[in-house]
Amino acid sequence: MRARGKPRRGRTEAASPGRPSRGRGRSAAEPGRATAGGHARAERPEDRRRRAPAVGAPAREPRRPPARPAAGPPLAGPWLWTTRQGAEGDLAEELGLALGPGAAEVVGPALVRSRAAPTRPSGGVDLTFARCGFREIGLPGGAAVRARLAPGERAFELLRPHLAAAPCWALDAFVPDTDLDNPLVEGVGAIGRELVALVAARAPEVARRRVELAALRHREGIVVLLCLATSGLHVGWVAAAEALGLAPGGRSRVRVPGDKPSRAARKLEEAFAWFGVGPAPGELCVDLGAAPGGWSWLLLERGARVVAVDPARMRPDLTARRALRHVQDSAFRYEHERDDPFATGEPADWLCCDMAWRPLEVAALLAKWGRRGAARLLVANLKLPMKRKAEMVARLRGIVAEGGWREVRTRQLYHDREEVTLVAHR
């Protein structure tokens, strides 16, 4: 048997235009292989082995900088962002792609500062790897100020003009989600209580306009933020309409009751909460990569009909339910117009996809569904490579958008790991 990766004896490859052949006819005087004295040296076997691609390996695409997506005007800063521990570099890379080189810096575990905030053309801050962000005022490091004022007093003085101008406000006092900062949670809680007491004593009319954080979802107002980290106390504010979310500290923990088949159910429930819409009873959902059934279970619990597409087996208690049909085949072969087991003759209401597969191929599949108009709404979970994640996310969004999906957004949600959630609509 021929050893893997070794060419057959006597076999040569045709030379591509402008490139020497890799067969026996290669010239020893190939450009770039001259010695310091100007004499060409013979190619050594180890040189050839280093350059030869593995048998069957796909040709590498030339690296091109990703096209910058359409964006709205950036919001002036500085802005401070929290992110998942370990994703600081991904967020800084994403901000650099959106705002230009040098736009962001890592300031501590799970913390990144930028000179502005990128926005979508339709409005709202648009970032994938950030959990929470706010306009930072009074940057940490003013030793004289900290020595003169207690933390709560300093926060009150910095926030006073913004509180006075806001129609209503809510407080979010938190620590970054890191091993170093989590023990500081009691300290930031005490500073928050001190701030509330100072507002009540010195500006009672402002204190009366305070609301709960979740109440800002449907109201105009601001969130004032106290972020206590090992780097110091970070103070700032953000308009409710500009906030990435209203979960305390950006930690959107989701609890799903019942006997859920897998952790995946929490990811999907959080995705619906972020998207702002979820399946209604009776709607038809196609679940690509469904096994063992975490997403299908949640869709059934919401009263939807589910087409679960996966060559692997589903849980028997799910396949026994009348509202689920299991198509035991590859998601890349399934065509809804032809294979819909419910025979509705109509597009699916939802396309849901959580496949452990190469992200570029999954994005191309989602784009194919978009071009065919085979679903109205999309929520997908895409696995990411270990490096250059922000660049990959930009490529994935572009591919999906080329399929006709609109308002394509991505976010690394609280329950995501080395992956991102993508949503869009037709």
User: For residue 25, is pLDDT > 80?
Assistant: no
pLDDT band at 38; cut points 50, 70, 90: very low
The winner for highest mean pLDDT among 15-19, 69-73, 126-130 is 126-130
pLDDT band at 15; cut points 50, 70, 90: very low
Mean pLDDT of 352-381: 98
* Dihedral sign computed on CA atoms, order 348, 349, 354, 357: positive
Burial 67-76 (b: 16+ CB within 10 A, else e): eebeeeebbe
Mean pLDDT of 94-100: 96
pLDDT band at 121; cut points 50, 70, 90: confident
User: Considering the chain, what percentage of its residues have pLDDT values greater than 90?
Assistant: 74
User: For residue 26, is pLDDT > 70?
Assistant: no
User: For residue 31, is pLDDT > 50?
Assistant: no
| pLDDT for res 231 | 87
Mean pLDDT of 226-235: 94
Q: Which comes out higher in pLDDT, residue 48 or 234?
A: 234
Alpha-carbon distance of 128 to 139, in angstroms, equals: 25
Annotated catalytic residues are 383
CA 300 from centroid of its chain's CA atoms: 26
Mean pLDDT of 389-413: 97
**273-283: pLDDT as tens digits:** 999 999 999 99
Q: Which domains does the chain have, with CATH numbers?
A: 72-250 (3.30.2130), 264-425 (3.40.50.150)
* Dihedral sign computed on CA atoms, order 344, 349, 351, 352: negative
Asked if residues 151 and 173 have their Cβ atoms less than 8 Å apart, the reply is no
User: For residue 40, is pLDDT > 50?
Assistant: no
Q: Which residue has the tokens 């800063």?
A: 77
pTM above 0.75, yes or no: yes
pLDDT band at 262; cut points 50, 70, 90: low
Alpha-carbon distance of 282 to 285, in angstroms, equals: 9
User: For residue 334, is pLDDT > 80?
Assistant: yes
Mean pLDDT of 162-185: 97
**137-157: pLDDT as tens digits:** 976 555 444 456 789 999 999
CA 36 from centroid of its chain's CA atoms: 50
| pLDDT for res 217 | 86
- The answer to which of 25-34, 125-134, 153-162 has the lowest mean pLDDT is 25-34
| pLDDT for res 122 | 76
Mean pLDDT of 170-195: 97
Phi and psi at 210, nearest 5°, equal: -75, 140
Q: What angle (nearest 5°) sits at the alpha carbon of residue 340, between those of residues 337 and 344?
A: 85
- The answer to which of 49-58, 124-133, 156-165 has the lowest mean pLDDT is 49-58
Phi and psi at 300, nearest 5°, equal: -65, -40
What is the pairing mode between strands 72-83 and 111-119?
A: antiparallel
Mean pLDDT of 299-314: 97
Mean pLDDT of 388-392: 97
Alpha-carbon distance of 295 to 270, in angstroms, equals: 12
- Tell me 143's DSSP state: H
Alpha-carbon distance of 66 to 208, in angstroms, equals: 48
Mean pLDDT of 258-267: 73
Mean confidence (pLDDT) of the chain = 84
Q: Where are the beta strands (DSSP E) in 159-317?
A: 169-174, 222-229, 232-239, 284-288, 305-309
| pLDDT for res 149 | 74
| pLDDT for res 254 | 82
| pLDDT for res 152 | 93
